[in-house]
Amino acid sequence: MALLRPSGELDLATVEPFRREVQAVLDGQPDELVIDLCDVSFLDSSGLAVLAAALKSQRARDAGLVLTNPQPIVQRALVLVGLGTLIGAD
């Protein structure tokens, strides 16, 4: 299992380091990737795109992706785009 814990806003202006971090972890082909979103205060479409790409990559290998502890505004965005099913228990 691999764990990532991004912080702050994940938007067009700030998402690139997160994208690189996720890709580096995915390159290690973890059986499960857990992304703890407790410190993410905002998530726009660029952040959602990184999460969707991570999901696609993990599913292609029959591996898992779990999102934990999203703030309410982040959880709302995840649910609206269909990624709410990835939200796991704390």
**Per residue in 24-68, pLDDT tens?**
999 999 999 999 999 999 999 999 999 999 999 999 999 999 999
Residue pair 73/89 in contact by the 8 Å Cβ criterion: no
Q: What are the phi and psi torsion angles at 68 (to 5°)?
A: -125, 155
| Mean pLDDT on 68-88 | 93
**Per residue in 8-30, pLDDT tens?**
999 999 999 999 999 999 999 99
pLDDT-derived band at 89, boundaries 50, 70, 90: low
Residue pair 40/74 in contact by the 8 Å Cβ criterion: yes
E strands of the chain, at which residues?
Answer: 2-4, 7-10, 32-36, 39-43, 64-68
Q: How many CB atoms lie within 10 A of CB 31?
A: 11
| Mean pLDDT on 63-79 | 96
Q: How many CB atoms lie within 10 A of CB 47?
A: 24
Q: Please tell me the predicted confidence (pLDDT) of residue 90.
A: 55
Give me the CATH code for the 2-86 domain, please: 3.30.750.24
